[in-house]
């Protein structure tokens, strides 16, 4: 099973997280695409905020460690959370908890072999997810 098949297979579980909204999933993908460096960039951002062990668990093949809405807020900031909430059709105070449930699962599905994809491999994976949400 390649990365795209794994993402497709896992998408049903992701739809259940965060209220089952395709808008929320699409907003997460926009967040990943909009982050400098894509998936690698968001992983580096969480690492720079002292959450390296948490984000490493999402990338790795074991169980995903949880992240709190407060940790999401501290890492991404109010402006990115507000933009995410707007794109997802959520109340601003729900953005952190929605991302706390969706982001670990999406990053996990985008890294099925426990490794970050190269930059050239990232965009097709994110594009596949985007197509699945339509």
**CATH code of the domain covering residue 122:** 1.10.10.690
State which H helix or E strand residue 85 sits in.
helix 69-88
116 part of a folded domain: yes
Q: Is the pTM of this model over 0.85?
A: no
93 part of a folded domain: yes
pLDDT of res. 31: 84
| Torsion angle of the four alpha carbons 28, 34, 39, 41, in this order, in degrees rounded to the nearest 10 | -130
15 part of a folded domain: no
Vertex 28: Cα angle to 45 and 57 (nearest 5): 50
Question: 14-64 pLDDT, tens per residue?
Answer: 444 444 456 788 888 888 877 777 888 899 999 999 999 999 999 999 999
Q: Which domain holds residue 118?
A: 3-7+21-132
Tell me how far CA of residue 85 lies from CA of 22, 25, 44, 50, 101, in angstroms: 13, 11, 22, 24, 14
pLDDT of res. 71: 97
Q: Are 75 and 45 in contact (CB under 8 A)?
A: yes
pLDDT of res. 120: 52
């Amino acid at each position: 099973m390649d990365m795209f098949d794994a993402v497709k297979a896992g998408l049903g579980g992701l739809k259940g997280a965060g209220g089952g909204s395709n808008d929320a999933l699409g907003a997460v993908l926009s967040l990943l695409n909009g982050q400098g460096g894509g998936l690698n960039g968001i992983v580096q951002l969480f690492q720079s905020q002292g959450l390296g062990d948490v984000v490493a668990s999402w990338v790795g093949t074991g169980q995903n460690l949880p992240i709190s809405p407060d940790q999401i807020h501290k890492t991404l900031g109010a402006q990115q959370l507000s933009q995410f909430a707007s794109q997802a059709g959520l109340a601003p105070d729900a953005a952190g908890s929605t991302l706390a449930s969706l982001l670990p699962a999406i990053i996990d599905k985008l890294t099925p072999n426990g490794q970050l994809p190269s930059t050239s491999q990232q965009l097709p994976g994110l594009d596949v997810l985007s197509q699945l949400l339509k």
